[in-house]
Amino acid sequence: MKIVVLKFGGTSVGTIEKIKKVSRIIGEFRKKKYKVIVVSSAMSGVTNELVKKSRLISENFSENEYDVLVSSGEQMACSLIAGRLINNGFKSRSWLGWQLPIFTYGPHKNSRIYQINKNKIIKYLREGGIPIIAGFQGINKENRITTIGRGGSDASAIMLAKFFKAKRCIIYTDVEGVFTTDPNKLSKAKKIKVISYEEMLEMASLGAKVMQPVSIQDARLNRIDIEVKSSFTNRPGTLITKKSNITKNKIITGISSTHNDSKVTLVGVKDRPGVAASIFKPLSINSINVDMVVQNISANGKETDLTFTIKTDDLNKTKRIIKENKKINFRKILFEKGVSKISIIGVGMITTPGVTFRMFQSLSSKNINIQVISTSEIKISVLINSKDVKKALIVLHKEFKLDK
C-alpha cells in the first residue's frame, strides 16, 4: 500500500473553517491514490485551557488524571475532521490511542511510543477508510491513558510512519517550513528546501519552534523523512532528511537566537573533583535547565570561575539554590539579565576551515561583544547582549550568504 501520514497541528485545526480546509487537503491525497493516515493535535488553545482547569482543581493534580484530561482535546478535533470527511463522501472515523492500541512506556505526561498495533488500521485502509488518529497519546502496561509531552503529536505521526512504512510523512503547521532564521526577527530570512536531521535538531533545541527536538530525534533514529509545510498555502515546504540525501554548497544552513536568558558567574570557586556536579545537581533536581557552561581555572589551580546561562524566569530560584548550597565555596556570585545566545548551524562547517573566524570577525565589525562561546561539530554559539541580536542576525545572515 502507498501510505502517507498527514499530521495537522493545533493552528491547522483551530476553527471549523480550518478543519474544512484540512479535509480538502486530505481529499486531494486520496485523489492521488494514497492510503491516508491522519494524525491531529487538539484545536489551538484547547490543551492550555484543560491544563488551566487542572490547576484550578488542585495544585497537585494527579498525573494519571492529567493525561486523561489533556488527551481529550485530540478526541474532539479527530471527531470533527472525520465528521467533515464523511460529509464530503469519504469513509472515515476517529481512533483514540487506546483503540489501536498505541503502547507507551515511561512516566505520565512524558511517555514514549514503543509499539503500535497495526491490524485494525490496515484492515480499515484496505476497506477504503481514512483513519483519523489522535496524536499525543497512548496507553501504558496498566492500561492507563498516557501522553507523550507537548508537541507529542509530531512524535505520534513519525512513529505511525515508521510502523506503517509510509511513503511520506507530512507535518502541517502554520508556517511554510523551516527558515534560515526567525522571519519575525529578520525579513530576509529564506525558506530552507532541505535540511538534515542533525541541523534541524540543533535549530529546534536552540529555539526554532517548528518541531520539538524529541520528535526530530525519533525521525532521525528511525530514518523517517519529514516534510514540514503550511496548511494555509499550497507552497512547497521543507524536507528534513539524512545528510547523505543533501547536496548543497552552503556552509551554514541556519541561524538561531534565544531571548529571556540570564548569565550566572561563580567567582573563586574552590576547585576540587566533583565541584561542578555539586553546583549543577540541585539545579537539575529543581528542573532548571542550564545551557552554556564555561570554566576558567586560575593559574595556581586552586580556584575556578564558572559561568553558565539559564532562562531569566529561573533566575530568582537559581540565586536561592546556590546561596543555600553548603557543598560549594566561592568568593562571590554575579548575575546578568538581558543576554541572548546566537548560534550558526550547518554540517558544512565540519569540512570548512575559518568559519569561527568569520563569525567572530562579522560580530566585531558591528561592535558586538562576545561574552561566552560554546561549540559542537555543526554549531557555534556565542552569548551577546540582547540589544545586539538584530544586528548580529543581519550581519551573520549576510556573511554566510543565507539571504541568497
What pLDDT does 260 receive? 86
Residue 133's nearest CA partner among 82, 96, 91, 165 is: 96
pTM of the model: 0.83
With a CB cutoff of 8 Å and minimum separation 6, the contacts of 167 are: 2, 3, 4, 34
What pLDDT does 393 receive? 95
Contact 370, 384 (CB under 8 A): yes
Picking from 94-108, 206-220, 372-386, which range would have the lowest pLDDT averaged per residue?
Answer: 206-220
- Greatest Cα pair distance in the chain: 79
Position 304 pLDDT exceeds 80:
yes
Picking from 192-206, 277-291, 349-363, which range would have the lowest pLDDT averaged per residue?
Answer: 192-206
Contact 134, 80 (CB under 8 A): no
Hey, what amino acid is at 103? Answer: F
Position 279 pLDDT exceeds 80:
yes
What pLDDT does 208 receive? 67
CA trace torsion 353, 356, 360, 362 (10° rounding): 50
State whether residue 149 is helix, strand or coil: coil
What pLDDT does 137 receive? 97
What pLDDT does 182 receive? 86
What pLDDT does 338 receive? 93
Rounded mean pLDDT, 275-287:
91
Q: What is the mean pLDDT of the chain?
A: 92
Residue 114 pLDDT level (bands cut at 50, 70, 90): very high
CA–CA gap between residue 354 and residue 269 (Å, rounded)? 34
CB-side exposure of 123: number of CA atoms within 13 Å?
5
Position 50 pLDDT exceeds 80:
yes
CA trace torsion 137, 138, 139, 145 (10° rounding): 20
CA–CA gap between residue 400 and residue 73 (Å, rounded)? 43
Quickly count: other Cβ atoms within 10 Å of residue 402's Cβ: 25
Picking from 45-49, 164-168, 289-293, which range would have the lowest pLDDT averaged per residue?
Answer: 289-293
Residue 404 pLDDT level (bands cut at 50, 70, 90): confident
Structural domains of the chain, with CATH = 3-174 (3.40.1160.10), 257-399 (3.30.2130.10)
What pLDDT does 299 receive? 67
pLDDT tens, residue by residue, 231-240: 998 899 999 9
Residue 9 pLDDT level (bands cut at 50, 70, 90): very high
pLDDT tens, residue by residue, 167-226: 999 999 988 899 999 888 888 889 999 999 999 988 887 666 778 888 898 899 989 999
Position 66 pLDDT exceeds 90:
yes
